[in-house]
Amino acid sequence: MQTTQHNNSTTSNRSNNYIYHSLGNIDPDSQDQYNFFGVIIDAAYPYKTSNGKYICTIKVVDQTIHHKGESSSPLFANVVIYAKRFEDLPIIRRVGDIMRVHRANVKFFNDMRQFYVNLQYNSSWCLFHQNQDKDDDDFDDNDSDENQNGEDQEMLDQDQLKEKQLERQEKRRYKPYKFSGRSYTFDINHEKIIMDNIRTWGQNYFANNYVITKDMYMLLKDCKTKMSNDESQEFDLLCKILKIFEKDENNLEIRIKDLSQEMWFMSVPRFKFQSLKQGEVIRIRCVEVNLTSKRNVIQTKNNTNILRFHPSSRIATELSKVIEDETDMDKVLGDEASDIVMNAVVLTEITDSSLARGQMFKLTDLFLNFDQIPENLRERNAFRVRFYCLRIDPIDHREVVQAYCPECSETYSCETLEKEGKGKCKSCKVECKLIYKMQMLVKDSSSQMNKNFYRILLYSFDEDRGNDFFSNVRPCNLYKNADALETIEKQIKAMTKFNVWIDAIIERQGAFFLIRDTKITQVIN
């Protein structure tokens, strides 16, 4: 790709060789080879096939084949490029770029035109930026050969300078930033008009349409449930980059969120994706969900591609507003590698691993809109939540353990009981057992900005409802066990500290939510 050979002359013999067709005017049953321009709306990363060839698939549209709006089903043409070597294939970084293809074969595949571009024969491709006029492209397009010579500059007056600048701009507009083979041709007289037309059309198309429709990506909130049945399944995403961290020499950790407003983590190779920016809306191709991680982790693969959007495209401007920025809850979830969250601690662990990876519920939804939660989830009655405690009752921590009557559910203070806490119910005369009876006034990120707080109970009348909640202690008479009282008081104190969060499973019983399958595992002094 070193030697570039422009072919700007009208007298060239080759200038008449290329007749360009609109995508929709190409007969898919034809045996002919076709030349065309297309606006790229999607592209995979090149990968090696089982027969040792390299392949790259790209979706293109033009004035004659495209879909409109958000909901319409995607309409495009597929371009499949084959090559012997990886480096002969295009790596697409931005949707909206223009692709020119020479000598493609065509077939109908899944009701769409599919173009075959075989670089081992005589096919070729060129890539052009969507918009070369504005200085808004931060891609390295290796234009150093066009940099002006300082000596020349001094000899020119203002008008001449302007003229030169225009000339250079003009030249840049029609210069591909990547092309296959060793050289390319561009017949300025013939192709300029086609190029200008498709560029203008493409810019308008992206400015007025979402282009990426709902059936072209998965929501982050669905990827665990939909993928857990088949671990090898790949999917695509559409999300916003909340934060980028330098993970190590070779990798960046990016935090992403999409329209489901869930935050996920993704580690990406630095050399492939170093131009990504915080706040940017991106399309991610070919990823998997990491089902073994406790955090929400998207796993990249060799053929994962991340595509950026032109800043003026509708999907980028609208989604960057609709998708939330990082919330305080996200900061807690992203407990690693961030200076902001350095002091945030999640005090507890969920002891049931199948629940620990479940979806996180908002307290507002559970307490105020419980009926709107899907029936199957309400029936399961185990909701993962993350909250912080404003206050814990009773204030007298010796009363946190109570004597409970299994017959009438009445509870009594242990104050008058002996050390073992043995005692009988005053009305039923049956043996009581010792349980935790504690109330937490809590908030989560959904209620952080309003006055609402919620009451969650640690009420361990049932064995698996929280007898193991505190670390290194079980319910006992706290009036007579000084060591146990100290152990519990220390943990209660930790629960109400600033930036300490409780990750818990709660279940609904009548009008109350009770903690279960949750244990304090962190020690804070």
Chain contacts with Zn ion (rule: CB under 5 A): 405, 407-408, 410, 425, 428
Q: Are 331 and 290 in contact (CB under 8 A)?
A: no
Smaller CB distance to Zn ion: residue 74 or 406? 406
* Smallest separation, CB 373 to Zn ion (Å): 34
Q: What is the DSSP string of 73-131?
A: PP--EEEEEEESSGGGS----BTT-EEEEEEEEEEEETTEEEEEEETTTT-EEEEE-S-
- Of 63, 144, 77, 79, the C-alpha closest to 113 is 77
Token pair for 467 = 């007898």
What is the closest distance, in whole angstroms, from the C-beta atom of residue 220 to Zn ion in the complex? 49
112-135 per-residue burial string, b: 16 or more CB within 10 A, e: under 16: bbbbbbbbeeebbbbbbbbbbeee
Of 84 and 426, which CB lies nearer to Zn ion in the complex structure?
426
On the 0-12 / 13-18 / 19+ scale of CB atoms within 10 A, 32 is exposed
Q: Which residue has the tokens 């814990």?
A: 392
Q: Residue 407 CB, nearest distance to Zn ion (Å)? A: 4
* Closest CB 427 distance from Zn ion, rounded Å: 5
Helices (H), 372-431: 375-380
Tracing tokens 């007969």 back to the chain, one arrives at: 27
Least Å from the CB of residue 353 to Zn ion: 37
Q: Of the two residues 428 and 523, which places its CB atom closer to Zn ion in the complex? A: 428
Least separation in angstroms between residue 426's CB and Zn ion is 7
Q: What is the closest distance, in whole angstroms, from the C-beta atom of residue 401 to Zn ion in the complex?
A: 17
CA atoms within 13 A on the CB side of 156: 14
Show the tokens assigned to 293.
Answer: 């991680």
| Bridge-based pairing state of the strands 500-509 and 345-346 | parallel
**Distance (Å, whole) CA 272 – CA 10:** 40
Closer CB to Zn ion, 408 or 524, in the complex:
408
141 or 410: CB nearest Zn ion: 410
Residue 156: DSSP 8-state: -
List the helix and strand counts (H, then E) for the chain: 11, 23
Scan for tokens 């039923």, then name that residue: 428
> Helix or strand or coil: residue 440?
strand
What is the DSSP-derived secondary structure letter of residue 512?
Answer: E
CB closer to Zn ion out of 366 and 425: 425
Residue with Cβ nearer Zn ion (324 or 410): 410
CB of 383 to Zn ion, least distance (A): 30
Q: Least distance in Å: CB of 434 to Zn ion?
A: 15
Of 361 and 412, the one with the shorter C-beta distance to Zn ion is 412
Q: Which is nearer to Zn ion, 328 or 410 (CB)?
A: 410
Three-state DSSP class for 135? Answer: coil
Least Cβ distance, residue 425 to Zn ion (angstroms): 3
Q: Which is nearer to Zn ion, 119 or 425 (CB)?
A: 425
